[in-house]
Amino acid sequence: MTPPARRRIRAVVVDDEKLSRVLVREYASGHDDIEIVAECANGFEAVRAVNDLKPDLVFLDIQMPKLDGFEVLELIGPDVGVIFVTAHDAHALRAFEVHAVDYLLKPFGSERFAEALDEARGRLARALPTPVSRVVASARPAGTYLRRILIRTGARVDVVPVGSVDYIRARDDYVGVVSGGKERLKQQTLAELEGQLDPARFVRVHRSFLLNVDRLTRLGPATRDSYVAVLEDGTELPVSRRGYRRLSELL
């Protein structure tokens, strides 16, 4: 009996080194169910390619200029299969192993490539989402925080330095990142983003608001049981009793 044909897998290769992209394409050519639909030399190209081509799988380098692999992962989301391609990085490898994410450690051969591909095929067949938030959080060295917030709208990526953020508010399944009076929506929970920001700089003043304390000009009572934070531009944010204690301890 003839075995059933494998599912066709459309893949994108992302690596700033051309030789690495050529190697992945060469190894992939030995597997008739893999079709390389795009090669990308940086993270911005990768985000556009994933948005436009809707691939099943991404071979994703970690160390890249402009956007690194973890930033790309955060922007493309959990619905695309990922095989990370990286030089030795203890934090990254530990994160991959803990969360059962496939990776290739440079330099690698065709046999190791085939093993990672088999694992990826299994995840795709079972429709297992990539655990984006957990991988990104685990891969970040302890005591380090976000320096910029990346916000994707279609194929467009806005890069917002954390120092320019006034406050962040919860909006259902999104957060609204407010900077210079402009609000940009990012698909992430407020709790997840709070855990990535420096707690000495960003304080949860209310269940729905994170405040950049550098923007605070005045803190005072609003009612008997609540307070208000007044920002440099005159914006007023609600402050809970717990938020008031946090701000009082910090200031």
Q: What is the pLDDT of residues 142-171, one digit of tens each?
A: 788 999 999 998 889 999 999 999 999 999
Model pLDDT, residue 251: 77
Task: State the CATH architecture for 9-139.
Answer: 3-Layer(aba) Sandwich (3.40)
Give the confidence band of 120 by pLDDT, cuts at 50, 70, 90. very high
Q: Please tell me the distance from the alpha carbon of residue 66 to that of residue 43, in angstroms, as a whole number.
A: 7
Same fold for the domain at 9-139 and the one at 148-250?
no
The answer to whether residue 237 scores a pLDDT higher than 90 is yes
Q: Please tell me the distance from the alpha carbon of residue 226 to that of residue 170, in angstroms, as a whole number.
A: 19
Model pLDDT, residue 141: 80
Q: What is the CA radius of gyration of the chain?
A: 21
Greatest distance between any 2 Cα atoms in the chain: 78
Give the confidence band of 7 by pLDDT, cuts at 50, 70, 90. confident
Q: What is the pTM of this model?
A: 0.86
Domain spanning 148-250 has what CATH number? 2.40.50.1020
Distance of CA 132 to the CA centre of its chain: 6
Q: What is the DSSP letter of 164?
A: G
Q: What is the pLDDT of residues 38-89, one digit of tens each?
A: 999 999 999 999 999 999 999 999 999 889 999 999 999 999 999 999 987 7
Lowest mean pLDDT of 25-34, 43-52, 100-109, name the range.
100-109
User: What are the angstrom distances between the C-alpha of 36 and each of 11, 89, 111?
Assistant: 5, 26, 19
Sequence ranges of the domains in the chain: 9-139, 148-250
Mean pLDDT of the chain: 91
Pairing mode, if any, of strands 174-179 and 182-186? antiparallel
Pull the structure tokens for residue 200: 């000495």
Q: Angle, nearest 10°, between helix axes 132-139 and 69-76?
A: 160
Q: Where are the alpha helices (DSSP H) in 1-61?
A: 18-28, 43-53
Phi, psi at 144, each rounded to 5°: -110, 150
